[in-house]
């Protein structure tokens, strides 16, 4: 089994970093939700707060690494322009190395680019901003989140929106890669 450099970057971007993000989300959401005074003792709060901070910071960092690697490493391969001698109006083997143009060459696959990729490349950037806001709230408020239900609820909403943005981007990425790979 061999992988090209492009395949390794795509796997690192989508599968490794994307999976880490999803795992961090699950743990972070459970941690935020359960951070309630009637569920915890003082010792429990002292034990959970640092773990929640580490998890939320990891989630934010992973979100940034995912979107940066996608935008600046994987995405340029997707957008690569074919040389002048290749017909851009017909899906051919020569055009297969240029995923954007390959998708646009047929009405059956053009929507994967027009809707899927255009939406994916923008919505993906929402996730790290929201995840960073949650990490900042956990860092700033810490154990006060137990008593500050409104802040905790806002963090849960931001966390969930970050997850949804990443999920939409990840799904579009997986479907688009299935239709036209960057490898």
Q: 147-178 pLDDT, tens per residue?
A: 999 999 999 999 999 999 999 998 888 888 88
By the 8 A CB rule, do 172 and 111 touch? no
- In this predicted model, which residue has the larger pLDDT, 118 or 68? 68
Mean pLDDT over 40-53 rounds to 86
| Alpha carbons within 13 A on the beta-carbon side of 97 | 7
**Cα–Cα dist 53/111, whole Å:** 40
pTM for this predicted structure: 0.88
The model's pLDDT over 50-104, given as tens digits with 9 standing for 90+, comes to 999 999 999 999 999 999 999 999 889 888 999 998 999 999 988 988 999 999 9
CB atoms within 10 A of CB 22: 15
Average pLDDT on 10-38 reads 87
Q: Where are the domains of the chain?
A: 5-81+126-159
Residue keyed to tokens 């340029």 = 76
- Which of 161, 94, 95, 109 has the alpha carbon at shortest distance from 132? 161
The per-residue pLDDT for range 135-150, each reduced to its tens digit, is 999 999 999 999 999 9
The Cβ-side half-sphere exposure at 39, using a 13 Å CA radius, reads: 11
Q: How many CB atoms lie within 10 A of CB 113?
A: 21
Contact (Cβ atoms closer than 8 angstroms) between residue 70 and residue 13: yes
């Amino acid at each position: 089994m061999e992988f090209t450099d492009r395949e390794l970057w795509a796997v690192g971007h989508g599968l490794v970093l994307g999976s880490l993000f999803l795992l961090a989300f699950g743990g972070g959401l459970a941690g935020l939700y359960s951070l309630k005074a009637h569920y915890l003792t003082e010792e429990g709060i002292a034990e959970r707060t640092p773990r929640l901070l580490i998890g939320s910071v990891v989630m934010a960092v992973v979100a940034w690494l995912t979107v940066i690697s996608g935008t600046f490493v994987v995405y340029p391969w997707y957008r690569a322009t074919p040389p002048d001698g290749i017909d851009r109006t017909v899906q051919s083997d020569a055009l297969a190395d240029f995923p954007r143009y390959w998708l646009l060459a047929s009405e059956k696959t053009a929507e994967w680019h027009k809707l899927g990729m255009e939406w994916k490349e923008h919505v993906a950037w929402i996730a790290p901003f929201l995840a960073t806001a949650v990490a900042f709230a956990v860092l700033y408020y810490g154990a006060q989140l137990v008593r500050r239900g409104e802040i905790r609820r806002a963090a849960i909403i931001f966390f969930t929106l970050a997850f949804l943005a990443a999920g939409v981007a990840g799904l579009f990425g997986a479907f688009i890669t299935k239709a036209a790979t960057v490898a």
